[in-house]
Amino acid sequence: MSKKIFFVGLFILFSFFGNAQNKVWLIDGTVLKTNKCKLGEDGYIECYTEKGKLRYTDTADVFAIIVRETDTTFFYENNEYPLEKAKYFMQGQIDGKNYNNYYIYTGGLILGAATPTLLAYTPVYVFLAPVFSAGYIASFSGVNENSKFCDIPEEYKDNEDYIKGYKFSATRKKVRNTAIFSTVGLAIGYGLLFIIQP
Tens-place pLDDT, residues 17-57: 444 567 777 877 777 777 776 766 666 777 777 676 777 77
Percentage of residues of the chain with pLDDT beyond 70: 73
Look at domain 3-77 and name its CATH class. Answer: mainly beta
Cα atoms found within 13 Å of the Cα of residue 172, Cβ hemisphere only:
14
> Residues with Cβ < 8 Å from 80, sequence gap 6 or more?
none
Ranges of each domain in the chain: 3-77, 94-196
> Residues with Cβ < 8 Å from 74, sequence gap 6 or more?
63, 64, 83, 87
pLDDT at 7 exceeding the cut of 80: no
> Which range (3-12, 66-75, 129-138) has the least confidence?
3-12
Mean pLDDT of the chain: 78
Tens-place pLDDT, residues 141-157: 889 888 888 888 888 88
pLDDT at 84: 81
